[in-house]
Structure 1
Amino acid sequence: MRDGSEAETADSRLAARLASLRAEHGWSLDELSGLTGLSRSTLSRVERGELSPTAASLGRLCTAYGRTMSRLLTEIESEPPRRVPAGSQQVWYDASVGFTRRSVSPPHPGLRGEVVECTLDPGATISCENPPVPGVEQHVWVREGVAGITVDGSTHTLGPGDCLRFRLDGPSRFHCPGPERTRYVLMIVMP
């Protein structure tokens, strides 16, 4: 995990990137609020770096901007390297949900795929109303624990070693029923 100063720097870069994306799209805070369902004041505080976004709110923003979360988080880093040493893999934690996300192989210009390692604490749920990019291909490989994954209205229960693969065109939900945490690898392939 990052120390406090590194986290503050990443948070301030994320805030600046979110503000620049809104400006690039020519949207007011009210327009972005209408697209994401997030309040105008929350969006303003996030863009000023006064509030760190939750996984759910960041997911809504990614959907509005047509980006995966990994791609957005990579955009706040300098040019991504070809080799990604374990110690430099970006880790993001949402304490409000109990969700940890490590960008093992971040998005890179000219490449369509990325690899993310995720951990859900017992009882944790991550839901997305819409895919950040319609038709994005995902492969979920459970490494520890049990995951309940809902895609296209169907729920799949996966245990260690199980893999679920799909194209994401609608809402999705990842849930850790417990009693142990769930650790899974998510492979994302852009359309």
Structure 2
Amino acid sequence: MREDEEAETADSRLAARLAGLRAERGWSLDELSGLTGLSRSTLSRVERGELSPTAASLGRLCTAYGRTMSRLLTEIEAEPPLLVPAGSQQVWHDASVGFTRRSVSPPHPGLRAEVVEATLDPGAEIAYEDPPVPGMEQHVWVREGSVRITVGGTTHTLGPGDCLRFRLHGPSRFHCPGPERVRYVLMIVMP
């Protein structure tokens, strides 16, 4: 299968999963709109696969559904394998923000931790209003570049080799001040 066909298939599976999650809860589009702050028409287009969600909108949806982004993206795959070769790792890209996310070790229902590699382009910023799962633990280990992370009202600037560990209970923000992109490893541990 060609790469563009694989991306299209993943997008359609994501759209179907998001529609399924809303149906499982018995929520209308208006109710989900109220929970996420996303318009009813945007939600409808995302669920029909006509619009790919941005990192921010996917983050809001994950919060509403009580899932990490990695878990949601893994749910659209078949049974998660024990070994995930580099070429098979799920990669999601939000070109509008300059954010790329690779699920290095996809989450599994029986395990509490997952590893994600992410990059942010210079000047890129991602803000999350709420954690998808309150109290989840995150470890951010910077491999290249620098990133400013705001959590709990405090901003931390990390450079190559630095690691920040925190429990997430409120809003968070990741910003790449540049001049080069930042590449970091994120370990997520569910409570």
**The TM-score by the shorter chain falls in which range?**
over 0.9
Match of 1:161 in 2: 161
In structure 1, what is the Cα distance between the partners aligned to 2:108 and 2:34?
Answer: 31
SS in 2 for 1:164: strand
Q: Which amino acid aligns with 1:136?
A: M
Match of 1:143 in 2: 143
Aligned-residue CA RMSD (Å):
0.7
Match of 1:45 in 2: 45
Match of 1:71 in 2: 71
User: What does the per-residue CA deviation read over 1:147-177, in whole Å, with 9 as the maximum and x for residues that have no partner?
Assistant: 0000000000000000000000000000000
Q: 1:73 Cα shift?
A: 0.2
Match of 1:60 in 2: 60
Match of 1:19 in 2: 19
Q: Which amino acid aligns with 1:86?
A: A
In structure 2, what is the Cα distance between the partners aligned to 1:144 and 1:29?
Answer: 41
Match of 2:80 in 1: 80
Match of 1:31 in 2: 31
Q: 1:138 Cα shift?
A: 0.2
SS in 2 for 1:185: strand
In structure 2, what is the Cα distance between the partners aligned to 1:99 and 1:61?
Answer: 17
TM-score normalised to the size of structure 2? Answer: 0.99
Instruction: Give structure 1 regions of 4+ aligned residues with deviation exceeding 2 angstroms.
Output: none
SS in 2 for 1:15: helix
Q: Which amino acid aligns with 2:58?
A: L
Q: Which amino acid aligns with 2:173?
A: R
For structure 1, which runs of at least 5 residues remain unmatched after alignment?
none
SS in 1 for 2:138: strand
Aligned residues: 190
Match of 2:132 in 1: 132
Q: How much identity, in percent, do the aligned residues show?
A: 88
For structure 2, which runs of at least 5 residues remain unmatched after alignment?
none
Q: Which amino acid aligns with 2:52?
A: S
Match of 2:121 in 1: 121
Match of 1:185 in 2: 185
Q: 1:69 Cα shift?
A: 0.2
In structure 2, what is the Cα distance between the partners aligned to 1:50 and 1:146?
Answer: 35
Match of 2:9 in 1: 9
In structure 2, what is the Cα distance between the partners aligned to 1:69 and 1:29?
Answer: 20
User: What does the per-residue CA deviation read over 1:28-61, in whole Å, with 9 as the maximum and x for residues that have no partner?
Assistant: 0000000000000000000000000000000000
Match of 2:174 in 1: 174
